Amino acid sequence: MDHKDSRAPTIIDVAREAGVSPMTVSRVVNGKQAVRQATREAVQAAIAALGYAPSAAARALAGGEEIRICLLFSNPSTSFLSELLMGSLEQASHHNVMLAVEKLAEPLSVEAVLAHLKHARINGIILPPPLCDSPEMLAALRDAGIRAVTLAASHRPDHFSSINMDDRLAAREMTRHLVALGHRRIGFVKGNPAYNSGQRRFEGYVAALADAGLPLDETLIAQGLFNYRSGLDAAEHLLDLPEPPTAIFACNDDMAAAAVAIAHGRGLDVPGDLTVCGFDDTPLATTIWPELTTIHQPISDMARAAVDLLVRDLREQRGDAPDEPAHMLLDFKLVRRQSDAAPRRRPRGRPKA
C-alpha cells in the first residue's frame, strides 16, 4: 500500500495491507495467542511496512468485542432510504463493524426503542430525519450512554457528532435559478411538518423570493409529506388554481416526480408548459422522463461519514481517548437536467369535459 498522504496509518490500513480483519490486527498488537503464526507474521510485516503505531483505541479492541451500530429510520421516502442504506452498509463493511437496520413504528416509544437496542447489544446509533431532531430521543440515548451521530439535523447536538448539509441555502439557490429562468409564479410543495429539513427548504424558497422582490403568494404553497402520493395531491391542487404556477419546486424528488406525472396526465409538456424541480438527487431523478433538475444532497456520502464518526467515537470511548463530538457540513450541488426551462406559455388548466 502506498501512503502518499500525510496522515498516520490506522489499524484499518494495517488490516487491509495484511489481508486480515482489524480485530486480528488488534490481537497481534496486544500479544494474544489465538492467531496463527503465518497471520501474525503478515500483520507484523504490515505494521513495519506502514510504520503503524498502535493507539489506545486499537488496544481497546483486544478483548474481541465487536462493534454493533444501528441505523434507525422512519423516513417515508424509499429513494432517500435507498441512498442512506447504500452508504451505511458500504462503510460499515469497510470498518468491519456490524450494522443493524431498524424501522420505527408510530407512535414512537423511546423506552421500547432503548430496551430493544440494549437487548441487541447495540453500541451506537445513526439518526436520520426526523429522529435526529427528537429532543426526547437524544436525551434518552445520552442518559443511557449510547453513542449517536445525527444526520441532517436542524441543530448541532451538544453531546453527539453530526453530519449536515445547508438545506436552506440549497433551496434558496434552486429558487434563484428558477427566477433567473424568468419564472415569477413558482409553486412550492412543502415537506412533512415533522421534518425540520422541509421547513429549512421552505425558508430558502421564501428568502429567494424576497431577494428577487417577489411577493410570497400563499396560494402557490401546497403541503406535502415527502412521499409520492402527497406529491400527486399537491400538484393537482397547484395546477387547479385559476392562475397556476409556471414552475413547481418540490421539497424532494419523490414529490417532484409525482408533479411530473400529474402534468403529463393533463397533457402538459415538461418543461415547455411547466418546469418541475426536486431536491435530493436520488436515483428516481434520473429514472423518470424528463430527468429532474434537482439539488444533489450527498445522502450516501453523509451516511458514510456518519458511520466513520460513530466508529471513531466508539473506539475513542473504549480507549479512554478525548470524547469531543465532531461536526461536518457537506456540500450540495444544483444539478440541471431536462425538467426546467424558461416559461414559454402559461400552463393550461384541466381540460374541460
**CATH superfamily, region 11-63:** lambda repressor-like DNA-binding domains (1.10.260.40)
**CATH superfamily, region 68-165+298-331:** Response regulator (3.40.50.2300)
| Residue 44 confidence (pLDDT) | 83
- Asked whether the predicted pLDDT for residue 345 surpasses 80, the reply is no
- What confidence tier does 312 reach under pLDDT thresholds 50, 70, 90? confident
Of 94-108, 114-128, 173-187, the range with the lowest mean pLDDT is 94-108
Residue identified by cell 424558497 is 205
- What confidence tier does 61 reach under pLDDT thresholds 50, 70, 90? very low
What is the average pLDDT across 263-274? Answer: 97
Distances in Å between the Cα of 296 and the Cα atoms of 95, 250, 284 are 26, 14, 12
* pLDDT tens, residue by residue, 174-193: 999 999 999 999 999 999 99
167-296 maps to which CATH number? 3.40.50.2300
- Asked whether the predicted pLDDT for residue 55 surpasses 50, the reply is no
C-alpha–C-alpha distance, residues 63 and 79, integer Å:
39
Q: Which of 133, 215, 212, 219 is nearest to 172 (CA)?
A: 212
Residue identified by cell 426536486 is 278
* pLDDT tens, residue by residue, 198-250: 999 999 999 999 999 999 999 999 999 999 999 999 999 999 999 999 999 99
Phi and psi (nearest 5°) for 90?
A: -60, -45
- What confidence tier does 268 reach under pLDDT thresholds 50, 70, 90? very high
pTM over 0.85, yes/no: no
Q: Where in the chain is the domain with CATH 3.40.50.2300?
A: 68-165+298-331, 167-296
Cβ pair 337, 287 in contact under 8 A: no
Q: Where in the chain is the domain with CATH 1.10.260.40?
A: 11-63
